[in-house]
Amino acid sequence: MFVIRWILGKIILFLDAVFSPTGIKRPAEQQASIDTQTAQLTLYQYLACPFCVKVRRAMKRQSLNIETRDAKRNDQFREELVQGGGKLKVPCLRIEDEGGDIRWIYDSSNIISYLEQSFAPAHK
Ligand SMILES: N[C@@H](CCC(=O)N[C@@H](CS)C(=O)NCC(=O)O)C(=O)O
């Protein structure tokens, strides 16, 4: 079982690298403003988890620079996720607002919806 998961993980990472999405280009000032906002976000994830890959690809498409923390390989990050978010499940997005309040969003679809609503370019 471990070997099958390991092989699947490598395939996922390979395909993700080969078919890596292109990020949107924003004017430098706009990107800097978005970088300031995304500095408040942290994605807890596993490298080869398909749901995490889906979120990372959405981030890449939108050129969102969000810190990622590997909750599988790093004990401290795993503990932060369990203590803060309430369970060991990835992906999970930690959002700290300007007042210091913290929210945790689980589920890849919920995270992607949040990112699209917060950062997608306005349609004309
Ligand atoms: N429906 C969830 C599924 C997430 C999920 O199943 N994540 C797995 C890793 S691929 C997980 O966290 N399992 C718990 C564990 O590994 O301890 C999503 O779309 O995010």
3-state SS assignment for residue 29: helix
User: Which residues in the chain land under pLDDT 70?
Assistant: 122-124
Which residues, including other chains, have CB under 8 Å from residue 90's CB and lie 6 or more apart? 44, 45, 46, 49, 51, 52, 71, 72, 81
Q: How far, in Å, from the CA of 24 to the mean position of ligand 1? A: 28
Q: How far, in Å, from the CA of 25 to the mean position of ligand 1? A: 31
Strand order, beta sheet including 41-45: 67-70, 41-45, 92-96, 102-106
Alpha-carbon separation of residue 73 from 50, 78, 89, 98, 110 (angstroms): 16, 8, 14, 30, 24
Report the pLDDT value the prediction gives residue 121, as an integer from 0 to 100: 74
Does some domain include residue 77?
yes
Does some domain include residue 10?
no
CATH of the domain at 88: 3.40.30.10
With the most atoms of ligand 1 within 8 angstroms of its CB, the residue from 89, 109, 115 to mutate is 89
Number of independent structural domains in the chain:
1
Does some domain include residue 97?
yes
Residues of the domain holding 123:
39-124
- 89 ligand 1 Cβ < 6 A: yes
Does some domain include residue 44?
yes
Does some domain include residue 81?
yes
Report the pLDDT value the prediction gives residue 123, as an integer from 0 to 100: 56
Report the pLDDT value the prediction gives residue 49, as an integer from 0 to 100: 95
Does some domain include residue 107?
yes
Does some domain include residue 70?
yes
Report the pLDDT value the prediction gives residue 38, as an integer from 0 to 100: 98
